[in-house]
Structure 1
Amino acid sequence: MINGNYHIEKIAEITKGKLYLQNSKNSTINDLLIDSRKLISTHDNLFIALKSNRNDGHKFINELITKGVSNFLISELPNNFSELDANFVLVNDTLLALQQISGFHRQLFNIPIIGITGSNGKTIIKEWLYQSLHSDYNICRSPKSYNSQIGVPISLFQLRKNDELGLFEAGISEPEEMLNLEKIIRPNIGIITNIGEAHHQHFVDMRQKINEKLMLFVKSDILIFCKDHVEIANRIYDLEFFKEKKLIVWSKKDKDSDLYISNIKTDTSKSLISGIWNNRSIDIEIPFTDEASIENAIHVWVVMLYLGVSADTIKSRMLMLSPIAMRMELREGINHCSIINDSYNSDLNALAIAISFLKQQQQHEKRTIILSDILQSGKSDNELYSQVAQIIESNSIDRFIGIGPGLKKHKNLFKIESHFFESTQEFLNFFPFSTFNNESVLLKGARNFEFEQINKYLGKKTHQTRLEVSLDAMLDNFNYFRSLLKPKVKTMIMVKAFSYGSGSFEVANLLQFHRADYLAVAYTDEGIDLRKAGIKLPIMVMNPEVDTLDAVIMHNLEPEIYSFKILEELENILSSRAFPSNKPIGIHIKIDTGMHRLGFNADEIEELIVRLKSNTKIQIKSVFSHLAASDNSK
């Protein structure tokens, strides 16, 4: 089990669940799956059917069984469960059971585990620790910012027998959440970064928030923190359970700290940080000048000092710290391609996450992956690249390009169209870039392969000034507004004018993947473009011109009907022509309530009702209006 390979019976034992064993041939589990859309490899998965206010994982069980998933952790049995070729573990709370599984898994490992919490800097410190230590240890770490009640157990379950160090971050938004995460991570070494205002509305005061964060370290041996954050330091010194722990303190003010920062000198591109450790002067140089990066780097410095890394090694590695690309970059490429640049990290889990994002892109039928050798995986090359080949083959990838001696040596493992190169430079010199045409291309490379050169070649040439749109920020906004709605209330998102200049199919793909209910556009041609880009969501057209109604019907769009004239034109078309679909066409009725921006008047409603009732080829999807005084509470 230290290498995965849990039998479904063991899962039932850990979670105290009731086992329904109906497929004993496929009852071994190596991976946990919580999102049916992110299925990468069909075998050896345990799907955890989580429930939220707006979704229920149980709805996707039948779909996953048809895709080959055989093991499910559930809180309610499907109606037809006895007919399904699958195994089920029935529990009261699937989230709690997920945490129990990973908590059990964590206890099998007697290696240093570093737990990181705080309001800011968690992911950067974790990634900089990885950059600085991966040459010395096989490291398992949280993917990206997986630090929630769900993300932490998913992260910890990645631990395998070859791992020598774990790096995991923990974030909370409400009281009592951290104790759940502590039972899973159980860090030997703790880092608390700082405390800010995020999620402050859920806590009585700052003191309570700090106390909650510190619960991550109740069983830790060592805690690293900056004494200059006075509120944090005071709580640490006051709490009883820290009195017997080793506290490693750094400060810019207190000369008696374990690491006293005596001087920080910055210029335009780097900072020289000098300090005193064990009564001797030491220094590092980092390629950053902002205060946040300096503080994050000092936390990394202290960990390396504690772990006994030599001063010369620390200096060379700190100078090589690179910015953390927190998100994948989606950009327009040559020959009508879409380029996904993800150089954030390079391991099997990161590859799976990137492929999931690649599969969201519906604007192109063809998909290509350019991947470098995966370094420091802890696996033999044959095992590693066999897994890579299996992931590639099972995810409808059309073309694979492998760069690096490891991939090239194992090229016979790859069954789809594949090309292999010893180095990035060899690829740039000899690969015909003209073959990239109207496709989605994923770049996934380890840092020393310098895939930024490939990204430069593939990217469409642009001016120096550019506007970047954060799809993650957009998703956060969408989820925030959706959280304010009752569970059965649907959402329609306006994406007219290329999503107000933010990108048409990019935004639409994001919304489709995250289960928005409807899109709306201004004109028919915008809806047609989205259909051509693979968008299958219902789409309302707000200003359908009469001569485009045929196209509206042919592309399964839903017109806004705001006058008898356009209703009559639609009725005439439906009665005089045959269309591929016999289903009624969905329409959206607009009522004029005083804004006078199109719409039926109040005295036309009765006639409208009669007309609509008499036509079985039309189905009303919504009735709406532009409110004339929406800001007036009266």
Structure 2
Amino acid sequence: MVALGRPWPLEELAQITGGQLLGPNQVVRYLAWDTRALQGGENVLFVALRAARDGHTYLEEAFARGAVASLCEKPLPGPHTQLVVPDTWQALWKWATAWRKTLSYPLLAITGAIGKTWVKEWLAYLLEGDLITVRSPGSFNSRLGVPVSILSFPREAEVGLVEVGFTEPGEITLHAEMVAPTWGLLTADSSRHLEAFPDKETRAREAFQLFATAEWIVAPQEPAYLTTAPQSRMRWVGETGDFRWQAQAPYEGLWRLPDGRWLPVRLPEKSPFAWQNALLAAAAAYQIGVPAEHLQARLATLPPLPHRLQWIYDAEGRLWIDDTYHADKESVLAALQEIAPLQALHPVVILSDFAPYTSAAHEEVVAFLRAHFPPEKVHLIGPLFSQTGWGNRYPDRETFLREARLAGRVFFVKGSRRHALETVLPHLMGQGLAPELRIDWEKVYRNLAYLRSHLPPGTRILAMLKAEAYGGGDLGMAHFLVRQGVDYLGVAYAREALRLREAGLTVPIVVFYPGQEPIALYQTAELEVAVGTWEALAYWAGQVPLHVEFDTGMGRMGFLPEELPSVIRFLQEKKAQVRGLFSHLAQAEAPCHPATQQQKQRFAALYEAFKQAFPEALGHLLNTAGVLSLGKEAAYDMVRIGIGLYGALPPLEEATSLYAPILRVREYTEGQLLNYGFSAQLPRTGKVATVAIGYGDGLLRGGAHSNSHFFWQGQKLPILPPLNMDLTLVFAGDLPLSPGEPVEVWGPTRPLRAFAEAWNTTPYEALVRLSRRVRRIYSWGAL
């Protein structure tokens, strides 16, 4: 379901499509084509498309779930509002084409064999701050995705990015007429989908048909493109192109512009494929008009790769990296390059056969595997892999499930759609249905970028990951944040820091509450410690790097300001390694409060005197709330960011959702007594659903009362208390829910902050209480 670019009266839509409107005129604001994603109360138009499944068979369900109208070929009997057309596909395309003609801003079309979504997302990021940009949602690039993308574009913007895919000859012609791009961008070539074309040159000619109206086209210098391109309009990216680069280190290189200038650039990714995609996006942004200096700065902070990778932590703390959406040779090799640096974790690799289905392609992947992974850690599924003579081999998925013996803490799973490895994951994890905490890395990234925008240039960031990253999962969040360039990690206790070190993280880590533990343990792990008492100072000074805490008024930990001279003298006598000094604001969200002002003044005086003795020490005072209120004036050298990364404080974006599956649905009569002590009474005859979540998963038992509720597809599900250890009963009335479907505890309908208020707790407590049996699922742009 997507929001339309503007409200559409169905009478106007009937004129565009030549359809017949049955029932009263409605104004629609959202478009849906899958009833599973349909939420009522949103003025939704459901379009019944004929594909592998006929959307007309779901019309009744669409209206039951809240659609106000349908676009269909065969209307339902009854009073429903329906726009009847001869062909719903043709109607959708006409509608999108008509809307495109009204858009006054230029559109850039992106096509190619691989990397379209990746380049599009990075280009959108590079344009931020210079141009108001709209783009295709997700990977919407199919015959459905392209018109839906255009219909989602608003009337007002400055540039639009449209992702376009094609898999067979002639398909691009329809998209070219609909998109009519002002500019073009062609991503890398590959063997993907080549089976529909005799050779790469034929496919390249097909791609260039999309750009018939384009003023210029950015493309990599690849053989198939060089021989088929309209040369006068090309802006080449490559070793001898208009835009060039020279790699100098894994993350650093030089970027040459068409005017002959060479700019030093840094990327958060080091694979050659990432560099090519980044510089394709940068070349297009430069052509559109973004100053090179702006691009130079933004390239260093590009967001994570928008692969379809998901990181899932199961109840035993094992990490499953799920990339089962698609597989071809290029994407398999690119993914393995990302996994290879995790060698310290001894990852188990599970792969199925992929496109192109040739022995040569599979031998090339096996050669890479041989160079980076021991054979006992690699499991290969399918007839082509079975012929390679290396690793653990299985002719099919069923044999793998029956015979594979998997041992490890990290598992990488990737396969083609024909092998459906996504159905294997629940079996491998040894779990059936379970609650899921979904963490949207895109929103975490945007929150981090927003907080950075409130800081002076050069301010370091320490990401607090105590209590398993506030319940979000320390390893998943740590790896993600390090990729985003955070300078330090912070934990409460040594065991948390050692877990991060065992996961291969080398970034500096501060242990804020060290005990008198073996010094050699800290030295071997290269940990830094916070000290705020004389006992801790005496034990740790001269042994490991220190961050010295001062109590400026909160009364929790730290030396008093008047102890500063003695502390400095002691540190100098011990020849201590001093890395920082810090304090903590008691009410950072109230910057004008007299107590906050007093704490600021005290820390300013401490900082000035301490830096005279230890000029390299990093001063840090602000947490997330402090960054939002005082970032420009009191950031000093470093800030500490924690739960704010999840959007727990306004105006940051909520980045978590908690879902639990339905186990059973049964109808009961009005007045029926249910649950422990027969304490719940049904208000009327209707369905009762049993949901797999309880206080054993971390929910507050006292928060579940007769006025509490969960949500299903945006509809309230009143809780029938009491909350059980593993289960919750909810009243569903006549809603058409089914076992296996997810129920929202918090998320898009009711974000975490609102949930915490309704359940008489805080976002901190709600997250930290979640138990290990709640799966942590990380993905980019999906809650």
* TM tier, smaller: 0.5 to 0.7
Q: Alpha carbons of 1:97 and 1:330: their partners in 2 closer, same or farther (altered >3 Å)?
A: farther
TM-aligned CA deviation for residue 444 of structure 1: 8.3
Corresponding residue for 2:745? 398
Question: Aligned match of 1:338 in 436, 445, 456?
Answer: 436
Give the number of equivalent residue pairs: 393
- Using the TM superposition, name which of 281-290 and 311-320 deviates more: 281-290
Question: Aligned match of 1:323 in 279, 296, 304?
Answer: 304
Q: Does 1:250 align with 2:250?
A: no
TM-aligned CA deviation for residue 118 of structure 1: 0.6
* CA root-mean-square deviation: 4.2
Distance in 1, matches of 2:176 and 2:288, equals: 22
TM-aligned CA deviation for residue 11 of structure 1: 1.6
SS in 1 for 2:441: coil
Corresponding residue for 2:64? 66
Corresponding residue for 2:151? 157
* Equivalences for residues 346-495 of structure 1 within 5 A: 361-362=661-662, 365-366=692-693, 397-399=744-746, 417=759, 427=764, 433-434=768-769
Q: Does 1:12 align with 2:14?
A: yes
5+ residue gaps, structure 2: 318-433, 447-646, 648-653, 664-690, 696-710, 717-741
Q: Alpha carbons of 1:138 and 1:233: their partners in 2 closer, same or farther (altered >3 Å)?
A: same
SS in 2 for 1:272: strand
SS in 1 for 2:234: strand
TM-aligned CA deviation for residue 9 of structure 1: 1.2
Q: Does 1:130 align with 2:124?
A: yes
Q: Alpha carbons of 1:17 and 1:402: their partners in 2 closer, same or farther (altered >3 Å)?
A: closer
* Equivalences for residues 194-593 of structure 1 within 5 A: 194-226=188-220, 228-237=221-230, 246-253=233-240, 257-259=241-243, 261=244, 264-267=246-249, 269-327=250-308, 328-332=310-314, 337-344=435-442, 361-362=661-662, 365-366=692-693, 397-399=744-746, 417=759, 427=764, 433-434=768-769
Corresponding residue for 1:56? 54
The C-alpha deviation readout for 1:364-420, integer Å capped at 9, x for no partner, is: 54599xxxxxxxxxxxxxxxxxxxx998666953335999xxx89xx7899965877
The C-alpha deviation readout for 1:216-252, integer Å capped at 9, x for no partner, is: 11112221122x2132122113xxxx75xx4322331
Question: Aligned match of 1:183 in 177, 188, 198?
Answer: 177
The C-alpha deviation readout for 1:418-446, integer Å capped at 9, x for no partner, is: 8776xxxxx3xx55622558667777899
Distance in 2, matches of 1:286 and 1:347, equals: 16
5+ residue gaps, structure 1: 369-388, 422-426, 452-634
The TM-score normalised by the length of structure 1 is 0.54
Contact preservation (8 Å) 2:68, 2:81: yes
Contact preservation (8 Å) 1:331, 1:338: no
Q: Which amino acid aligns with 1:203?
A: F
Distance in 2, matches of 1:264 and 1:56, equals: 51
TM-aligned CA deviation for residue 5 of structure 1: 0.9
Distance in 2, matches of 1:358 and 1:139, equals: 31
The C-alpha deviation readout for 1:548-587, integer Å capped at 9, x for no partner, is: xxxxxxxxxxxxxxxxxxxxxxxxxxxxxxxxxxxxxxxx
Q: Which amino acid aligns with 2:130?
A: D
The C-alpha deviation readout for 1:10-35, integer Å capped at 9, x for no partner, is: 22111112221x234xx111111110
Contact preservation (8 Å) 1:342, 1:443: yes
SS in 2 for 1:235: coil
The C-alpha deviation readout for 1:88-108, integer Å capped at 9, x for no partner, is: 122222122112222222222
TM-aligned CA deviation for residue 311 of structure 1: 2.9
TM-aligned CA deviation for residue 37 of structure 1: 0.8
TM-aligned CA deviation for residue 57 of structure 1: 0.8
Q: Which amino acid aligns with 2:30?
A: D
Question: Aligned match of 1:169 in 163, 166, 178?
Answer: 163
* Equivalences for residues 618-629 of structure 1 within 5 A: none
SS in 2 for 1:58: helix
TM-aligned CA deviation for residue 174 of structure 1: 0.8
Contact preservation (8 Å) 2:435, 2:693: no
Contact preservation (8 Å) 1:367, 1:397: no
Q: Alpha carbons of 1:399 and 1:232: their partners in 2 closer, same or farther (altered >3 Å)?
A: closer
The C-alpha deviation readout for 1:186-219, integer Å capped at 9, x for no partner, is: 2211101232222212123333211211121111
The C-alpha deviation readout for 1:247-283, integer Å capped at 9, x for no partner, is: 3223313xxx432x2x52243x413133243133333
Q: Which amino acid aligns with 1:236?
A: A
Distance in 1, matches of 2:204 and 2:301, equals: 33
Distance in 2, matches of 1:89 and 1:347, equals: 41
Contact preservation (8 Å) 1:210, 1:232: yes
Q: Which amino acid aligns with 1:23?
A: P
- Using the TM superposition, name which of 178-187 and 394-403 deviates more: 394-403
Distance in 2, matches of 1:101 and 1:199, equals: 29
SS in 2 for 1:264: strand
Contact preservation (8 Å) 2:439, 2:777: yes
Q: Alpha carbons of 1:445 and 1:265: their partners in 2 closer, same or farther (altered >3 Å)?
A: closer
Distance in 2, matches of 1:391 and 1:420, equals: 25
Contact preservation (8 Å) 1:225, 1:250: yes
Q: Which amino acid aligns with 2:275?
A: I
Contact preservation (8 Å) 1:264, 1:274: yes
Q: Alpha carbons of 1:276 and 1:108: their partners in 2 closer, same or farther (altered >3 Å)?
A: closer
Q: Alpha carbons of 1:185 and 1:98: their partners in 2 closer, same or farther (altered >3 Å)?
A: same
Corresponding residue for 1:33? 32
Q: Alpha carbons of 1:431 and 1:48: their partners in 2 closer, same or farther (altered >3 Å)?
A: closer
Q: Alpha carbons of 1:199 and 1:444: their partners in 2 closer, same or farther (altered >3 Å)?
A: closer
Contact preservation (8 Å) 1:113, 1:185: yes
Distance in 2, matches of 1:64 and 1:415, equals: 33
Distance in 2, matches of 1:258 and 1:311, equals: 14
Contact preservation (8 Å) 1:334, 1:436: no
Q: Which amino acid aligns with 1:433?
A: V
Distance in 2, matches of 1:52 and 1:444, equals: 28
Distance in 2, matches of 1:30 and 1:221, equals: 33
TM-aligned CA deviation for residue 124 of structure 1: 1.0
Contact preservation (8 Å) 1:19, 1:90: yes
The TM-score normalised by the length of structure 2 is 0.45
Distance in 1, matches of 2:174 and 2:248, equals: 41
Distance in 1, matches of 2:754 and 2:66, equals: 26
Contact preservation (8 Å) 1:331, 1:339: no
SS in 1 for 2:67: coil
Corresponding residue for 2:391? none
